Structure 1
Amino acid sequence: MRERGRADMILLRLDGVSVTEAAACLKTAAKRVSTWSKRFERHGLDGLKDQPGRGRKPSIPASKVQRVVTRPPKGRKSERAQHGPPRWRVAQDRATGLVDE
């Protein structure tokens, strides 16, 4: 959705619409239209992409997440062995006629 808004700004500017008119038309700040117009002029379409490093950094390192996701729990039976198939699977099997009511 962000890319769409940025593209709309650029298209209006290429049609000769002023920064303030484009901002009013798109219901955004003139500074935002000016910023994206300048980035497009300098870098072309690549200038409309988000720059790397923006946004909140992960609080847990990727290596730890990968370790937890791939490692089975120690000393426990699997969920299926403890509780049987998940409820959605039983309902799905009933709907397809694989399991009797």
Structure 2
Amino acid sequence: MIPEAREVHLSRKDRKVLEACCRSPVTLQRDLKRARIVLLAADGRSTRSIAKEVGVQPRIVSLWRHRYADHGLEGLQDKPRPGKQPIYTKTTDKRILKLLDKPPPQGFARWTGPLLAEALGDVDVQYVWRFLRSHKIDLVARKSWCESNDPNFTAKAADVVGLYVAPPAKAIVLCVDEKPSIQALERAQG
């Protein structure tokens, strides 16, 4: 049984919005039908004639008449639907990004999906990989240089840089760089 039809009174502003919605080529069909229902109801048409013209059941016309009468234009939007809430939120995404800015744990050259999930503690490794793929984050190409785990690296690097900046008189500087990332590869294990 169809509930009693409610009168629909449109303000000029609401009428303009609904008419623009009907004219727009990008309006979703469901929104177009809702707008047409309310416009026809405001013109005094019966529920059955609106249903026939729009191509819906009379109970649908009645529903949108009531929703507009009670809530205005906001009533024409879908109500939140029940369902499973997402386990991981934007906060989780921010935690992943924040962790990527930190150096990996001792003994590792770079972050991996399982390592990130373990460090976060409450995030599944599959979600970590999905997040990284969706943001086009490549863990292997994260940095373009090798980081040494040698505790005396800074002093050694200063000596080498010093040779280039102020070379000794009549000195020959040879640079042999066969495997620059051997340390990083060794540390990447595990």
For the pair shown, which has the larger CA radius of gyration, 1 or 2?
2
Map of 1:77 onto structure 2: 140
Q: Say how many residue pairs are matched.
A: 79
Which amino acid in structure 1 is aligned with residue 69 of structure 2?
E
What are the ranges of 5 or more consecutive residues in structure 2 without an aligned counterpart? 1-27, 101-109, 113-138, 145-190
TM-score in terms of structure 1 length:
0.60
For residues 1-101 of structure 1, what are the structure 2 equivalents within 5 Å?
Answer: 1=28, 2-51=30-79, 53-54=80-81, 56-62=83-89, 63-68=91-96, 70=97, 72=100, 74-75=111-112, 76-78=139-141
With the length of structure 2 as denominator, give the TM-score of the two structures. Answer: 0.35
Name the CA shift for 1:20/1:65 in 2 (closer, same or farther; >3 Å): farther
Query: For residues 78 and 58 of structure 1, do their structure 2 counterparts lie closer, same or farther at Cα, with a shift above 3 Å needed?
Result: farther
Q: Give, in angstroms, the shift of residue 55 of structure 1.
A: 5.4
Root mean square deviation, CA, Å: 2.6
Question: Partners in 1 of 2:59 and 2:42 — Cα distance?
Answer: 17
Q: In proportion to residue count, which structure has more helix?
A: 1
- The runs of at least 4 consecutive aligned structure 1 residues that moved more than 6 Å come to none
Q: 1:65 to 1:38 in 2, by over 3 A?
A: same
SS of the residue 2:87 aligns to: coil
Residues 58 and 45 of structure 1: CA distance in aligned 2, closer, same or farther (over 3 Å): same
Letter in 1 for 2:111: K
Paired letter, 2:78 = D
Deviation at 1:42, TM superposition (A): 1.6
How far apart are the structure 1 equivalents of 2:46 and 2:81? 29
Q: Helix, strand or coil for the counterpart of 1:61?
A: coil
